[in-house]
Chains A and B, each alone.
Chain A
Amino acid sequence: MPAVNTGSTFKASLLMALESAINNSLAYDPATQQSLHQLDGKVLHIACTVPSQSVYVLFVGNHVELWSLFESSPDTTLSGTPSAFLALWRARSKTTALTDSGITLTGDSAVLQQLQQISATLDIDWEALIAEHTGDVIAHQLGRFARGANAWLHTARREAERLMSEFLQFESNTVPSRHEVQGFCRDVDDVQLRVDRLQASIEQFRKSRKS
Chain B
Amino acid sequence: MTDQQNTTHFGFQQVPVQEKQRKVADVFHSVAARYDLMNDLLSGGIHRLWKRFTIEVSGVRYGHKVLDIAGGTGDLAFKFSRLVGEDGQVVLADINSSMLNVGRDRLIDRGAVGNVQFAQANAECLPFPDNTFDCITIAFGLRNVTDKDKALRSMLRVLKPGGRLLVLEFSKPGNPLLGKAYDNYSFHVMPVIGKAIAGDADSYRYLAESIRMHPDQETLKSMMQDAGFAECEFYNMTGGVVALHKGVKP
Contact = CB atoms under 8 A, between A and B. Distances in A.
Interface string A35-73: 000001100000000000000001011000001111110
Instruction: Specify the main secondary structure of chain A where it touches its partner.
Output: loop
A69 B232 CA distance: 18
Contact of A71 (B49, B57, B62): B57
A4 B233 contact: yes
A67 B237 CA distance: 16
A16 B48 CA distance: 9
A9 B56 CA distance: 13
Contacts of A3: 217, 233-236, 243
Contact of B237 (A1, A9, A13, A16): A9
Interface band, chain A? 20 to 34
Contacts of B235: 3-6
B233 to A, nearest CB: 5
B58 A41 contact: no
B52 A12 contact: yes
Interface band, chain B? 20 to 34
B228 interface: no
Nearest to A71: B59
Given A9-B46, A71-B56, A60 B83 contact: yes
Interface in B207-232: 217, 232
A4 B62 CA distance: 27
A116 B44 CA distance: 38
Given A9-B238, A12-B49, A71-B56, A1 B232 contact: yes
Instruction: Specify the main secondary structure of chain B where it touches its partner.
Output: helix
B46 A70 contact: no
B53 A72 contact: no
Given A4-B235, A16-B48, A41 B56 contact: no
B141 interface: no
B63 to A, nearest CB: 9
A41 B190 CA distance: 41
B85 interface: yes
Interface string B34-72: 000000000000101100110111110110000000000
A39 to B, nearest CB: 12
B148 interface: no
Interface string B16-38: 00000000000000000000000
Contacts of A6: 53, 235-237
B49 A13 contact: yes
Contacts of A72: 59, 61
B236 A4 contact: yes
A76 to B, nearest CB: 16
Nearest to B62: A41
Nearest to B48: A16
A68 B56 contact: yes
Given A1-B232, A9-B49, A71 B58 contact: yes
Contacts of B237: 6, 9
B56 A70 contact: yes
B77 to A, nearest CB: 15
Q: Which of A3, A4, A69, A70 has the largest count of B CB atoms less than 10 A from its CB?
A: A3
A60 B78 CA distance: 13
B218 to A, nearest CB: 8
Contact of A12 (B53, B217, B243): B53
Contact of B56 (A1, A40, A61, A67): A67
Interface in B160-185: none
B158 to A, nearest CB: 21
Nearest to A60: B82
7 contacts: A4-B234, A9-B49, A12-B52, A16-B48, A16-B52, A69-B56, A72-B61
Given A5-B236, A41-B62, A61-B82, 11 more contacts: A3-B233, A3-B236, A5-B235, A9-B46, A9-B237, A12-B52, A16-B48, A40-B62, A67-B55, A67-B56, A69-B57
